[in-house]
């Protein structure tokens, strides 16, 4: 298998080439052409490749190149199945490449799976868990998108990134799902896994509801770009329907080891009808010297991990068992 990448923009090539080398399957041969003289000579004979990624300015040199799949790099942000938005960066290129060519230690998933991360009480490490599971799934070779749906968003302390979603994109989120998905996909950031940048201000002040963001998540799911979409749910359970587990979905519930957290979590599991087949628990800020209000499960839903407070700061060996349980 061979991927051929053609662009005369050397700065852009330098950015994309690194992502291709680290992200693609070891079985994929990667060829890059960024020199006009070599491209001219190369175009004089016939070639066959698995994937061709070519700058729209170089299309005149591609007449004798036969490719199973061709993607055209364009400066226009018009998302389609055969174009890549140039200023979307490396993640835009990696999203376009079919999953079977991505470096993956496991078998390709047939369809994207949604993982909802939520909690019955505040301060239980919900954001840390959502990001940690996203990172663990990525390190398992999966293609992952993280979406935060909190009304007030702040996850820079975990991802250590200060970038914000632009106001122009925020205003577009309330349009049709297909439009919102396309524009949002062109604005993602990447830390191994893709994520939607933080939104400044209250979501409600932008007229963005939880249902709007969930509709976008499901719209992206239907494109089958990712193996997993990790959706961090808000603290407040606004509607029972939004927090229910649907087909091909899982829930991760975060809690603390005290009795208050235990009772709130138990009530939520019973009310929502979560089961061991679709729900796992993570106990954060665990202190083995303190009493714990529960054992290995709550309402038959298993506790996958007990994460000590000092370990969550480094993500050292954290959330791997949880990621495995929901994958």
What number of CA atoms fall less than 13 Å from residue 81's CA on the CB side? 5
β-bridge mates for residue 265, sequence order: none
Write the pLDDT tens digit of every residue in 12-34.
888 788 777 766 766 678 889 99
Please name the helix (run of DSSP H) or strand (run of DSSP E) that holds residue 238, with its range, or none: none
Tokens of 70: 């061709």
Is 303 in contact with 282 (CB distance < 8 Å)?
A: yes
Same fold, 2-101 and 113-326: yes
Which region, left, alpha or beta, applies to residue 299 given φ > 0 means left and ψ of -120 to 50 means alpha? left
Q: pTM of the predicted model, to two decimals?
A: 0.69
**Residue carrying the six token digits 């808000």:** 234
Is 186 in contact with 95 (CB distance < 8 Å)?
A: no
The CATH homologous superfamily of the domain defined by 113-326:
P-loop containing nucleotide triphosphate hydrolases (3.40.50.300)
Within 10 angstroms of residue 283's Cβ, the number of other Cβ atoms is 25
DSSP state of 11: H
Q: Give the percent of the chain with pLDDT over 90.
A: 50
Within 10 angstroms of residue 82's Cβ, the number of other Cβ atoms is 10
CATH 1.10.10 fits 2-101, yes or no: no
In this prediction, residues 38-51 reach a mean pLDDT of 93
Band the pLDDT of 78: cuts 50, 70, 90.
Answer: low
Q: What is the pLDDT of residue 130?
A: 96
As a whole number, the mean pLDDT across the chain is: 87
Residue with the larger pLDDT of the pair 311 and 199: 199
> CA-to-CA distance for 167 and 253, rounded, in angstroms?
32
Write the pLDDT tens digit of every residue in 279-290.
999 999 999 889
Domain residue spans of the chain: 2-101, 113-326
Residue with the larger pLDDT of the pair 11 and 258: 258
Write the pLDDT tens digit of every residue in 206-251.
999 999 999 999 999 999 989 999 999 998 887 788 898 888 899 9
Q: What is the pLDDT of residue 16?
A: 83
Q: Which of 114, 122, 112 is nearest to 251 (CA)?
A: 114
């Amino acid at each position: 298998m061979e991927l051929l990448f053609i662009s005369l923009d050397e700065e852009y090539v330098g950015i994309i080439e690194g992502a291709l080398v680290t992200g693609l399957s070891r079985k994929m041969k990667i060829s890059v052409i960024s020199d006009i003289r070599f491209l001219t000579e190369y175009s004089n004979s016939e070639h066959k490749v698995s994937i061709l990624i070519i700058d729209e300015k170089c299309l005149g040199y591609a007449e004798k190149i036969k490719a199973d799949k061709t993607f055209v790099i364009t400066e226009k942000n018009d998302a389609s199945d055969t174009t890549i938005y140039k200023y979307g960066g490396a993640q835009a290129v990696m999203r376009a490449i079919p999953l079977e060519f991505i470096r993956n230690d496991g078998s390709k998933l047939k369809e994207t799976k949604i993982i909802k991360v939520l909690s019955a009480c505040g301060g239980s490490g919900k954001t840390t868990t959502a990001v940690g599971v996203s990172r663990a799934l990525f390190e398992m070779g999966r293609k992952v998108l993280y979406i935060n749906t909190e009304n007030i968003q702040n996850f820079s302390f975990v991802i250590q990134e200060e970038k914000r979603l632009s106001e122009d994109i925020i205003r577009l989120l309330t349009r049709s799902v297909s439009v919102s998905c396309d524009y949002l996909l062109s604005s993602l950031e990447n830390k191994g896994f893709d994520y939607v940048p933080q939104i400044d201000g209250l979501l409600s002040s932008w007229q963005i509801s939880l249902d709007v963001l969930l509709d976008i998540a499901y719209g992206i799911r239907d494109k089958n770009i990712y193996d997993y979409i990790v959706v961090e749910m808000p603290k407040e359970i606004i509607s029972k329907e939004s927090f229910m587990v649907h087909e091909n979905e899982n829930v991760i519930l975060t809690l603390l080891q005290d009795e208050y957290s235990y009772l709130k979590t138990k009530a939520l599991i019973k009310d929502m009808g979560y089961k061991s087949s679709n729900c796992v628990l993570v106990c954060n800020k665990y202190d083995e010297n303190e009493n714990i209000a529960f054992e290995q499960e709550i309402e038959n839903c298993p506790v996958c991990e007990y994460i000590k407070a000092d370990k969550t700061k480094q993500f050292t060996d954290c959330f791997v068992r949880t990621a495995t349980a929901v994958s």
